[in-house]
Amino acid sequence: MMKLKVLVPTEVLVDEEAAKIHAEATNGHFCLLPRHIDIVAALVPGILSFVNREGGEAFVALDEGILVKCGSEVLVSTTRGIRGDDLEGLQTVVETQFQKLNEQERTAHLAMARLEASFIRGTLEQQRGRT
């Protein structure tokens, strides 16, 4: 068995034993078993699946991240992730959550653009006043 931990900035999504782990790196899909060699992989957005101690399969939808296998420990770090027990339910949650986050990011970018434009206008007005 391997000890799998999946971390996002705000919480630990997974902290349990896994018999098998499937993930996708920049160079393709791969499978980890307990006796495989140590590895570091850059993960692409997708689904990480694993077989737990009881033989059930679980899934984690991930944004891009890093996977490190060292001995019997596997650590995955990602900026966004959602855990689910079935792919259909996970797909619905991912679409809803990631769409919500993308909207929040667009709103934040728009606010920053407005602040930058205001700062530039203020700087230009000050320069005109000096000349």
**Quick check: helix, strand or coil at residue 54?**
coil
- pLDDT at residue 66, as a whole number: 96
Q: What is the mean pLDDT of residues 51-57?
A: 92
pLDDT tens, 57-104?
Answer: 999 988 889 999 999 999 999 988 888 877 777 777 776 776 666 666
Phi, psi of 98 (to 5 degrees): -70, -35
Give the pLDDT score at 101.
65
Domain boundaries, the chain: 2-85, 87-131
Supply the pLDDT for residue 99. 67
CB 41 within 8 A of CB 23: yes
- The residue assigned the tokens 């019997």 is 72
What is the distance between the alpha carbons of residues 25 and 98, in angstroms, rounded to a whole number? Answer: 20
Percent of the chain with pLDDT strictly greater than 70: 91
Return the CATH number of 2-85, one of 3.40.50.300, 3.90.25.10, 3.40.50.1970, 2.60.15.10: 2.60.15.10
In this predicted structure, what is the pLDDT of residue 121? 79
Residue 131: band (very low, low, confident or very high) from pLDDT cuts 50, 70, 90? low
Instruction: Please indicate, yes or no, whether the overall pTM of this predicted structure exceeds 0.85.
Output: no
Distance CA 8, CA 62 (A): 9
Higher pLDDT, 79 or 113: 79
What average pLDDT does the segment 51-56 reach? 92
More confidently predicted of 25 and 113: 25
Identify the three-state secondary structure at position 113. Answer: helix
Confidence of residue 108 (pLDDT cuts 50, 70, 90): confident
Euclidean distance between CA atoms 74 and 68, whole angstroms: 6
Question: What ranges make up the beta strands (E) of the chain?
Answer: 2-8, 11-25, 28-32, 39-43, 46-52, 57-62, 65-70, 73-78, 81-84
